């Protein structure tokens, strides 16, 4: 980490994306190169909710995944600033251990779909981030249960593995897990896509609480009411698109 | 003195070069107590199960003035003991005895005499399987490394298994010992009752395995400790009965069947010990003569 | 972040005559990290694992291991005694076939207790209670403690092998296709158990598998091998979701179907 002390101040961006570009080379299709985005540049500050907009396939999820270290970056920097020390780390370097430590301490991510693990119950899926951070099992389970209750997941499902859950149930487990830890940066990829109105409102409430607590949120929300309820600004990813046709 | 009417045998059957080779192995074995020294085992005019390893050791150390005793399961009068004694009387023309105290060399299968051995005496054990780790590790290359590196956990695995299956350490013979705090050794299939007799014995103890071509030794006054667990310490068998013939106590007894209606009695397994006691007057009146068929309860070599 | 690797491999090569088992292999393993080595059969995974765990002699290259006393010697510098001690205390090796890692003719309890006895534990009651604890941790009823592994199912044997390895609280575990020989339903249980134990005990693990699902579930980092060489390595989810090498793309494409 590089110390960058002057920026230790309230309101300084926690996430700075600088000139990031991404393309895929599909070797199984004769090495065809699929450009996605280039020169992506933006910042997200504490309490801000920046929403990525643009048509399907334009590269919104890819940007989120690069920031989470799940996709490699062709060029550019993804700077993550430590709120208390002001230290800055470039996640785009791709060092797996740096990415893992940033995921542990700085960046939360709610993906579009829950990846289920065989035999692990919904409650344990949600409690796991607490357990790996040393929270005692009983306390972790209680907090996980409270979170799932808030999201109206029937308690009969708590001890079942989510593999057989409906799309909306799985998504609520996924959200609960992502919201368990107070990461300074939170990435949300259409968290409300498969939710009914009631649960959508619950999630909106949860996002607002995070923002009030100073979390920097970067999200994708196709849902207009949700977007309007939480966005502080909107960025059209089409501006970075390197596609001939979107 | 050699009997001139006999054909020209080498003294004690083996040629001088072979005896020298075996003596070198014995010296090495004495220098590294408990360590199994390989030697080039020779064909002997008897089958392996008859103790060819012990016979070769005895043949190599025997001198014309030695007095030889041979026992099998404590008895001087079994076929095996009688044959080996006769063999040496013939090929080395040495004196033989059944008296433990009179012998200079005692070759044995499965027992250590009750009469404590003295300085200057040599006891030669017939060994069927010299490797104490063989039970759990069949690979010779591996057991050798284990000895070299003192990796003896496996011996305890076997003792653990005993306790787990039987509630106590059920190994009653060939009970593993640690020699001078270093090598784990198989004492040959003597009853564990005899193990304490090996500890700091003033006699020289030699072990010969013919089929497996190994010699090992305990020089006089060597520490020999039977392996065990803190909470399951080594104990010897205890006999409730006394010898029905000589009234001896705290000796190793054999069960003898006296008739075909289930009659039985316990007598000293060490025939010389029993007879010596009786000749000195320790007698229990009105009982059958010793020499009745022995219950062959121990696995034959 | 723990800044010192527990294992460091540099330019490792193993030749079988003219044939290359593996070559130019370099990577580090940090404490508490699970690294998966993936690739199709014949790609050199097991050769690599066996060289690192000193079960096989390397042809060239460096393998350094962080000892408990913080020394970081090349394993070639250690004497046989020290190496073997390491192997039965600080390391574990979980074989694909449990029979290769168990003593099939002694009881489950003795199988688990063996390592304790090897390091000098001489209290039967203590050994037994620790063996029984470990059996329960791997979901084998303590009442089976005196049964022989031959009477166990494949999944139970594999769980017994795991317990046998973990009883000395090793720091580094090598696993070669630990679920390879098991039915799918049994596999899930063993995997789940491994996942929990690894995180509870903070173990470092190098696991060889051709099953990317297993790698995804257990590992943080992935090394992709082809023809004895590393073609790609990185964060497991990155390698699987955004594979860059043609071979990795092929591997990933072939599992995306299900
Ligand atoms: N792992 C991958 N390998 C190859 N191509 C990929 C990969 N991930 C995404 N793409 C491609 O990159 C482009 C951007 O995809 P992305 O998922 O980022 O779009 P999006 O803006 O999130 O779309 P949507 O709104 O439909 O979710 C698409 O053409 C997609 O097919
Ligand atoms: Mg998307
Ligand atoms: Zn008697």
Mean pLDDT per 10-residue interval, chain C, length 258 residues? 86 94 96 94 90 95 95 95 92 94 95 95 97 95 96 94 95 93 83 87 93 92 95 96 95 73
Task: Please name the member of C117, C125, C128 whose beta carbon is closest to the beta carbon of B157.
Answer: C117
> Closest ligand 1 atom to the C-alpha of A22?
12
Phi/psi for C108 (5° steps) reads -55, -45
B154 touches chain C (CB under 8 A): yes
Half-sphere exposure of B291 (CA within 13 A, CB side): 5
Would the pLDDT of B80 be above 50?
yes
Give the domain CATH number at C81: 3.40.50.300
Domain match, C25 and C84 both: yes
Domain match, C82 and C109 both: no
Assigned domain for C158 exists: yes
* Active-site position among B53, B74, B208, B268: B268
Instruction: Report CA Rg, chain A.
Output: 18
Closest C-alpha to C200, from A137, A101, B251: A137
B210/B111 Cα distance (integer angstroms): 18
Domain match, C245 and C176 both: yes
Query: What is the dihedral sign for C-alpha A167, A170, A172, A177?
Result: negative
Q: How many helices (H) and strands (E) does chain B have?
A: 7, 12
Give me the pLDDT at residue A243, please: 72
The whole-angstrom distance between C96's CA and the closest CA on chain A is: 21
ipTM for the predicted complex comes to 0.90
Assigned domain for A230 exists: yes
Give the domain CATH number at A220: 3.40.50.300
Candidates A26, A29, A35, A61: which one to mutate for ligand 1, based on the most atoms within 8 Å of Cβ? A61
Closest C-alpha to A67, from A216, A224, A169: A216
**Of C118, C134, C169, the domain-final residue:** C169
B34 is catalytic: yes
Assigned domain for C1 exists: no
User: Residue holding tokens 């005896």?
Assistant: B19
Give the mean model confidence (pLDDT) for residues A98-112. 94
Give me the pLDDT at residue C181, please: 80
Closest C-alpha to B301, from B177, B210, B197, B171: B210
- What contacts 24+ positions apart, CB below 8 Å, involve C116-121? C116/C167, C116/C168, C117/B153, C117/B154, C117/B156, C117/B157, C117/B160, C118/B151, C118/B153, C118/B154, C118/C88, C118/C89, C119/B153, C119/C88, C119/C89, C119/C168, C120/B153
C6/B296 Cα distance (integer angstroms): 59
- Range name among B69-83, B93-107, C179-193 with the lowest pLDDT average: C179-193
**Of C145, C169, C193, the domain-final residue:** C169
Domains observed in chain B: 16-225 (3.40.50.11310), 253-300 (no CATH)
Half-sphere exposure of C70 (CA within 13 A, CB side): 2
pLDDT band at B299 (very low <50, low <70, confident <90, very high): very low
Give me the pLDDT at residue B42, please: 87
Inter-chain residue contact C249 with A26, CB threshold 8 Å: yes
Task: Please name the member of B136, B163, B232 whose beta carbon is closest to the beta carbon of C106.
Answer: B136
Task: Please name the member of C81, C114, C145 whose beta carbon is closest to the beta carbon of B149.
Answer: C81
Assigned domain for A205 exists: yes
Inter-chain residue contact C238 with A94, CB threshold 8 Å: yes
C102/C108 Cα distance (integer angstroms): 9
Question: Which C-chain residues 91-130 have CB contacts (< 8 A) with chain B?
Answer: 103, 105-107, 109-110, 113-115, 117-120, 122-128
Assigned domain for A78 exists: yes
Inter-chain residue contact B153 with C122, CB threshold 8 Å: no
> Closest ligand 1 atom to the C-alpha of A222?
25
Domain match, C216 and C249 both: yes
Give me the pLDDT at residue C33, please: 94
Assigned domain for C207 exists: yes
SS3 A188: strand
Assigned domain for C95 exists: no
* Widest CA span in chain C: 56
- Expressed as residue numbers, the domain containing A29 is 15-240
pLDDT band at B237 (very low <50, low <70, confident <90, very high): confident
- What contacts 24+ positions apart, CB below 8 Å, involve B261-269? B264/B295, B266/B239, B266/B241, B266/B242, B267/B243, B267/B292, B268/B74, B268/B114, B268/B243, B269/B73, B269/B74, B269/B75, B269/B111
pLDDT band at B46 (very low <50, low <70, confident <90, very high): confident
Question: Could you tell me the two tokens for B223?
Answer: 């520490």
User: Residue holding tokens 């490792």?
Assistant: C12
A132/A149 Cα distance (integer angstroms): 22
Give me the pLDDT at residue B189, please: 94
Say yes or no: CB of residue A5 within 6 Å of ligand 1: no
Give me the pLDDT at residue B2, please: 52
Assigned domain for A1 exists: no
Give me the pLDDT at residue B294, please: 38
Which of C110, C123, C135, C146 to mutate against chain B (most B CBs within 10 Å)?
C110
Domain match, C39 and C54 both: yes
Domain count across chain A: 1
Q: Is the separation of the CB atoms in B70 and B76 below 8 Å?
A: yes
* Number of inter-chain CB pairs under 8 A, B vs C: 58
Give the mean model confidence (pLDDT) for residues A124-146. 93
Assigned domain for A6 exists: no
* Active-site position among B54, B246, B263, B285: B246
Give me the pLDDT at residue A4, please: 47
- Range name among A62-66, A72-76, A166-170, A206-210 with the lowest pLDDT average: A166-170
Q: Is the separation of the CB atoms in A54 and A33 below 8 Å?
A: no
Sheet holding C7-16, edge to edge: C19-29, C7-16, C60-65
Domain match, C142 and C177 both: no
C253 touches chain A (CB under 8 A): yes
Assigned domain for A2 exists: no
Would the pLDDT of A124 be above 70?
yes
Domain match, C11 and C82 both: yes
Would the pLDDT of B293 be above 60?
no
DSSP-derived pairing of the beta strands A107-110 and A185-189: parallel
Give me the pLDDT at residue C170, please: 95
Domain match, C31 and C139 both: no
Give me the pLDDT at residue B98, please: 96
Give the mean model confidence (pLDDT) for residues A40-64. 95
Give me the pLDDT at residue A132, please: 85
What DSSP designation does C35 have? E
Give me the pLDDT at residue A246, please: 40
User: Residue holding tokens 């996709």?
Assistant: A71
B268 is catalytic: yes
Closest C-alpha to B149, from C246, C175, C86, A52: C86
Domain match, C153 and C213 both: no
Cα C138 → chain centroid: 16
Domain match, C162 and C174 both: no
Q: What is the DSSP string of A202-225?
A: HHHHHHHHHHHTT-EEEEE---HH
Domain count across chain C: 2
Assigned domain for C98 exists: no
Domain match, C143 and C231 both: no
Instruction: Give the whole-number percent of chain B exceeding pLDDT 70.
Output: 90
Length of chain B equals 301
- The three-point CA angle A178-A114-A169 to 5° equals 90
Give me the pLDDT at residue C2, please: 55
Instruction: Give the whole-number percent of chain A exceeding pLDDT 90.
Output: 79
* CA dihedral of residues B57, B60, B62, B68 (deg, nearest 10): 20
The whole-angstrom distance between A98's CA and the closest CA on chain C is: 8
The whole-angstrom distance between B184's CA and the closest CA on chain C is: 14
Q: What is the DSSP string of C103-132?
A: -TTS-HHHHHHHHHHHTT---HHHHHHHHH
Which of A27, A30, A95, A130 to mutate against chain C (most C CBs within 10 Å)?
A27
B230 touches chain C (CB under 8 A): yes
pLDDT band at A2 (very low <50, low <70, confident <90, very high): very low
Would the pLDDT of B207 be above 50?
yes
C221 touches chain A (CB under 8 A): yes
Would the pLDDT of B127 be above 70?
yes
B89/B140 Cα distance (integer angstroms): 37
- Residues with Cβ within 8 Å of C192's Cβ and at least 6 positions away in sequence, in order, are A117, A118, A119, A120
Inter-chain residue contact B161 with C125, CB threshold 8 Å: no
A220 strand-pairing partners? A189
Inter-chain residue contact C117 with B164, CB threshold 8 Å: no
Give me the pLDDT at residue C153, please: 93
B131/B176 Cα distance (integer angstroms): 10
Q: Is the separation of the CB atoms in A241 and A59 below 8 Å?
A: yes
Domain match, C27 and C119 both: no
**Of C169, C192, C221, the domain-final residue:** C169
Which of chain C's residues have a Cβ under 8 Å away from the Cβ of A65? 241-242
Which of chain A's residues have a Cβ under 8 Å away from the Cβ of C30? 97
Closest C-alpha to B94, from B59, B135, B145, B129: B59
Would the pLDDT of B297 be above 50?
no
Q: How many CB atoms lie within 10 A of CB A56?
A: 8
Give me the pLDDT at residue C192, please: 86
Average pLDDT, chain B: 89
Inter-chain residue contact C107 with B165, CB threshold 8 Å: yes
Task: Please name the member of B149, B160, B231 whose beta carbon is closest to the beta carbon of C113.
Answer: B160
B63 is catalytic: no
pLDDT band at B48 (very low <50, low <70, confident <90, very high): confident
Which of chain C's residues have a Cβ under 8 Å away from the Cβ of A100? 220, 235
The whole-angstrom distance between C170's CA and the closest CA on chain B is: 17
Inter-chain residue contact A28 with C235, CB threshold 8 Å: no
Give me the pLDDT at residue A8, please: 45
- Residues with Cβ within 8 Å of A221's Cβ and at least 6 positions away in sequence, in order, are A51, A188, A190, A191, A192, A227, A230, A231
Q: What is the pLDDT of residues B154-202, one digit of tens each?
A: 999 999 999 999 988 888 999 999 999 999 999 999 999 999 999 999 9
- Expressed as residue numbers, the domain containing C62 is 7-90+170-253
B225 touches chain C (CB under 8 A): no
Assigned domain for A246 exists: no
């Amino acid at each position: 980490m590089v110390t960058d002390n002057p920026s230790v101040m309230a309101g300084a961006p926690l996430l700075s994306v600088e000139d990031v570009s991404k393309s895929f080379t599909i070797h199984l299709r004769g090495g065809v190169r699929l450009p996605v985005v280039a020169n992506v540049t933006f910042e997200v500050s504490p309490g801000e909710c920046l929403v990525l907009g643009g048509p399907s396939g334009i590269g919104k999820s890819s940007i989120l995944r690069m920031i989470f270290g799940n996709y490699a970056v062709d060029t550019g920097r993804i700077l993550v600033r430590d709120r208390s020390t002001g230290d800055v780390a470039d996640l785009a370097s791709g060092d797996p251990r740096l990415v893992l430590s940033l995921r542990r301490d700085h960046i939360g991510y709610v993906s579009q779909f829950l990846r289920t693990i065989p035999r692990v119950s919904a409650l344990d899926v949600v409690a796991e981030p607490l357990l790996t951070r040393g929270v005692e099992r009983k306390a972790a389970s209680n907090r996980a249960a409270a979170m799932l209750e808030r999201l109206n997941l029937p308690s009969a499902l708590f001890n079942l593995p989510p593999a057989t859950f409906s799309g909306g149930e799985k998504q609520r487990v996924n959200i609960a897990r992502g919201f368990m830890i107070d990461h300074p940066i939170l990435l949300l990829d259409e968290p409300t896509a498969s939710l009914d109105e009631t649960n959508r409102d619950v999630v909106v409430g949860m996002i607002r609480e995070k923002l009030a607590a100073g979390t920097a949120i970067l999200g994708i929300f196709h849902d207009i009411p949700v977007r309007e309820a939480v966005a502080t600004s909107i960025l059209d990813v089409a501006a970075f698109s390197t596609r001939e046709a979107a | 003195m050699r009997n001139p009417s006999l054909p020209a045998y080498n003294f004690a059957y083996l040629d001088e070069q072979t005896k020298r080779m075996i003596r070198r192995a014995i010296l090495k074995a004495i220098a590294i107590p408990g360590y199994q020294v390989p030697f080039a085992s020779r064909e002997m005019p008897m089958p392996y199960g008859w103790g060819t390893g012990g016979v070769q050791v005895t043949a190599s150390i025997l001198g014309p003035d030695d007095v030889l005793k041979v026992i099998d399961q404590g008895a001087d009068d079994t076929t095996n003991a009688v044959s080996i004694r006769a063999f040496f009387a013939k090929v080395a023309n040495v004196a033989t005895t059944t008296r433990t105290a009179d012998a200079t060399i005692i070759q044995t299968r499965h027992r250590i005499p009750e009469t404590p051995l003295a300085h200057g005496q040599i006891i030669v054990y017939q060994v069927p399987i010299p490797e104490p780790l063989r039970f759990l590790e069949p690979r010779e290359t591996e057991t050798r490394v284990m000895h070299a590196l003192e990796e003896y956990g496996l011996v305890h695995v076997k003792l653990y298994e005993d306790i787990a299956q039987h509630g106590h350490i059920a190994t009653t013979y060939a009970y593993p010992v640690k020699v001078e705090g270093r090598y784990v050794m198989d004492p040959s299939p003597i009853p564990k009752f005899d193990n304490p007799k090996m500890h700091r014995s003033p006699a020289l103890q030699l072990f010969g395995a013919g089929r497996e071509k190994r010699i090992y030794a305990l020089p006089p006054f060597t520490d020999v400790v039977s392996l065990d667990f803190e909470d399951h310490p080594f104990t010897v068998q205890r006999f409730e009965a006394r010898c029905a013939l000589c009234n001896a106590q705290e000796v190793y007894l054999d069960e003898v069947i006296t008739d075909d209606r289930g009659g039985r009695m316990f007598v000293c397994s060490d025939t010389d010990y029993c007879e010596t006691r009786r000749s000195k007057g320790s007698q229990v009146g009105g009982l059958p003569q010793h020499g009745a068929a022995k219950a062959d309860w121990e696995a034959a070599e | 972040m723990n800044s010192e690797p527990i294992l460091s491999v540099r330019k490792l090569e193993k030749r079988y005559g003219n044939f290359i088992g593996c070559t130019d292999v370099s990577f580090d393993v940090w404490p508490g990290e699970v690294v998966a080595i993936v690739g199709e059969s014949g790609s050199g995974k097991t050769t690599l694992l066996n060289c690192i765990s000193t079960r096989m002699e390397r042809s060239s290259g460096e393998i350094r291991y962080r000892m408990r006393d913080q020394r970081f010697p090349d394993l070639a510098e250690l004497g046989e005694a020290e190496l073997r001690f390491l192997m039965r205390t600080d390391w574990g090796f979980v074989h694909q076939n449990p029979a290769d890692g168990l003593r099939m003719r002694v009881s489950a309890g003795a199988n688990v207790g063996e390592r304790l006895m090897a390091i000098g534990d001489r209290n039967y009651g203590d050994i037994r209670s620790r063996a029984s604890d470990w059996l329960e941790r791997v979901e084998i009823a303590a009442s089976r403690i005196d049964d022989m592994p031959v009477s166990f199912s494949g999944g139970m044997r594999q769980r017994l092998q795991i317990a046998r390895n973990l009883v000395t609280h090793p720091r580094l575990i090598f696993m070669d296709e630990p679920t390879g020989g098991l039915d799918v339903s049994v596999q899930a249980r063993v995997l789940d158990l491994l996942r929990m134990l690894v995180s509870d005990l903070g173990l470092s693990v190098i696991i060889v598998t051709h099953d990317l699902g297993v790698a995804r579930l257990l590992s943080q980092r992935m090394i992709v091998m082809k023809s004895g060489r590393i073609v790609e390595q990185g964060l497991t989810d990155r390698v699987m979701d955004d594979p860059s090498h043609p071979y990795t793309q092929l591997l990933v494409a072939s599992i995306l179907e299900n």
